[in-house]
Structure 1
Amino acid sequence: MLNLNIADETARLRAVVLGTAADSGPVPDPAEAYDPKSLQHILAGTYPEEADMVREMDGFEAVLKKHGARVFRPENIPGCNQIFSRDIAFVVDDKMVEANILPEREREFEAIVHVLDKLGPSQLLVPPEEVHVEGGDVMPWKEFLFVGTYTARDYPGYITARTNREAVAYLREAFPNREVKSFELRKHNTDPRLNALHLDCCFQPVGHNLAILHRESFIHARDYEWLRSYFGPENVFEITTEEMYRMFSNVFSISPEVVVSEQSFTRLNAWLESRGLQVETIPYNEVGKQGGLLRCSTLPLAREPG
């Protein structure tokens, strides 16, 4: 039996699913790209090598285990990209929600059956078909459930729009003890600097009361201003569009005192350290070429109760 418990983004991590880059298949055709950053690297001939991504993810696993986390990895599906486990499911409180992901990626959820077998029958929630939601858009934080969305009429035209209006309503019903607060994100199918694929691509809480935030990724200025005011301007690290593109907000917290970050994020890492956090820096740039980074690669299952 696995006791699911995810109350927020930073409590001490006890168990997590980390994706895998092994046997991830050949370089996709441009038409098969799920996001504009992958497309960019496919077209430029700079798409990452499997061996480099495996090495980076193994280094991430070593850091997680060093800090006492139990790490699960997906079962291997030959030729399938299984790096971003945050997309396939997410945990809020003591429930796991299966994500309604792109149809081509449904096999990825089946690859964590060894984790699902440890859950009680009431712990897995399966949303109805009209609910589109991915874990990168969902963040539990204190009394809130922050959700990144795109609800305009042209939603079906964006492969980068992953969480819809119906998902917000579903999460409100599924977690009545949470105040679900949604934020409209900018989407673009071909330009990664104009696209916030998920909420964690432009915002993330760290520590006890800090946040990383990118202004231009929010369609409505009021959403950005609410987050900046909620955390306090003095506690917010504002990232540039270039830093958003490099995934500065997609770090991963092992505890309120320890955060894993990409080694090249020197401006961010120095700020985190100046606020008293221990920053575990690792190479993760090759994984980042696919439009996700550290948080995207993880599916946290249990953190210590607050």
Structure 2
Amino acid sequence: MLQLHVNDETSRLRAVVLGTAKSNGPTPKIEDAYDPKSALHIKQGTYPAEEDMVREMEAVAAVFRKYDVVIHRPEVIENYNQIFARDIAFVIEDKFIKSNILPDREREIHAIDYLINQIDPEKVITLPEEAHVEGGDVMPYHDYIFVGTYTGDDYPDYITARTNIQAVNALKELFPNKKVKAFELRKSNTDAKNNALHLDCCFQPVGKDMAIIHKNGFLIEEEYNWLVDLFGKDKVFEITKDEMYHMNSNIFSIAPDVVISEKGFTRLNAWLRANGITVEEVPYAEISKQEGLLRCSTMPLIRDKN
């Protein structure tokens, strides 16, 4: 049996699912793109090539091996995008929660059935059908669970709105001992610089008590201010609109003092190092063209208990 445990974003990682870019399929048609950034690259003819994305993911796998992290990969489905393992499910405490994901992507979860079968069935949770959620919007932080959402009446009009209020309420029921705190995110189907696809596209805790944040990703200023107050202004790294577009908040922590980051994030990586964090730099700029980065393509299964 797999004994799951995840209570935050930064405790020492022991086991993880890393997505795969193998047999990723042809470049999608523009009308089939799930987000404005992918659509832009399809239009420009700069959509990433499979071999480049495979190479980028192997660089991440090499870092995990360096730190003795057990790596699980999805079974490869022919001509199918399986990079973003974070979307399909997430672990909080010892529970494995399946996401209710975009219907076109339902096959992704079955590629890790071999893993789910090693988990106590009572710990595998399927949320009610009306609760839409993706793992990029869900962030355990000690006593809190932070959830990115969008509750506007026009929710169905946004392919970029992935987590609804029903999911927030379902998580409150599942974890009565946690404070579930929801944040309204800015959504756009057409402008990637004004679209926070998931909470981890505009915010992420890092180290022991710090955070990366982008103000404009939040629709409601008070909610952004609440987060800044929680961490303290001197512990928060504010990223620009361009840095958000390039996914600077979507790095991934192996431990409080070790992160994997994109090598082009010069300003962020310098700040992390100045705060005593080892930065393992990898190339990930091709994958980021699909509006996802390191956190999006990883699903932690086991982190150390604090």
TM-score interval (norm. to shorter):
over 0.9
Which position in structure 2 is the counterpart of 1:95? 95
Does residue 171 (structure 1) correspond to residue 171 (structure 2)? The answer is yes
CA drift at 1:121: 1.2
1:78 — aligned with what? 78
Deviations 1:105-131 (A, max 9, x none): 000000001110110011100011100
Measured against aligned partners, the alpha-carbon deviations of 1:17-43 in whole angstroms (never above 9, x if no partner) come to: 000000000000001101111001000
SS at match of 1:76: coil
Give the secondary-structure state (helix, strand or coil) at the position aligned to 2:106: helix
Matched, 1:32 2:27: no
Aligned counterpart, 1:144: 144
Give the letter for the 2:58 counterpart.
Answer: D
Question: 1:261 corresponds to which residue?
Answer: 261
- The 3-state SS of whatever aligns with 1:289 is helix
Match for residue 22 of structure 1? 22
Which residue identity does 1:83 align to in structure 2? Answer: I
Q: Which residue of 2 aligns with 1:64?
A: 64
1:1-306, aligned counterparts within 5 Å?
1-306=1-306
Percent of matched pairs sharing the same residue = 59
Give the secondary-structure state (helix, strand or coil) at the position aligned to 1:294. coil
What's the secondary structure of 2:286's corresponding residue?
A: helix
Query: How far 1:144 moved relative to its partner?
Result: 0.2
Q: Distance in 2 between matches of 1:76 and 1:280?
A: 27
* Cα distance between partner residues in 1 of 2:30 and 2:130: 27
Code of the residue aligned with 1:152 in structure 2: it is G
Number of residue pairs the alignment of both structures matches: 306
Match of 1:130, SS state, is coil
State the 1:142 CA deviation: 1.2
Helix, strand or coil at the partner of 2:255: coil
How far the C-alpha of 1:283 sits from its partner, in A, is: 0.3
Partner SS, residue 180 of structure 2: strand
Deviation at 1:79, TM superposition (A): 0.6
SS in 1 for 2:59: helix
| Mapped partners of 2:127, 2:97: distance in 1 | 7
SS at the partner of 2:205? strand
Provide the rounded CA distance (Å) in 1 between the counterparts of 2:217 and 2:116: 34
Gaps in structure 1 of 5+ consecutive residues: none
Distance 2:5 2:68 in 1: 16
CA distance in 2, matches of 1:274, 1:150: 35
After TM superposition, give the deviation of residue 65 of structure 1 in Å: 1.4
Runs of 4+ in 1 over 6 A off after TM superposition: none
CA offset digits 1:70-91 (Å, max 9, x no partner): 0000001001000000000000
SS in 1 for 2:281: strand
Letter in 2 for 1:123: K
Q: Distance in 2 between matches of 1:178 and 1:40?
A: 39
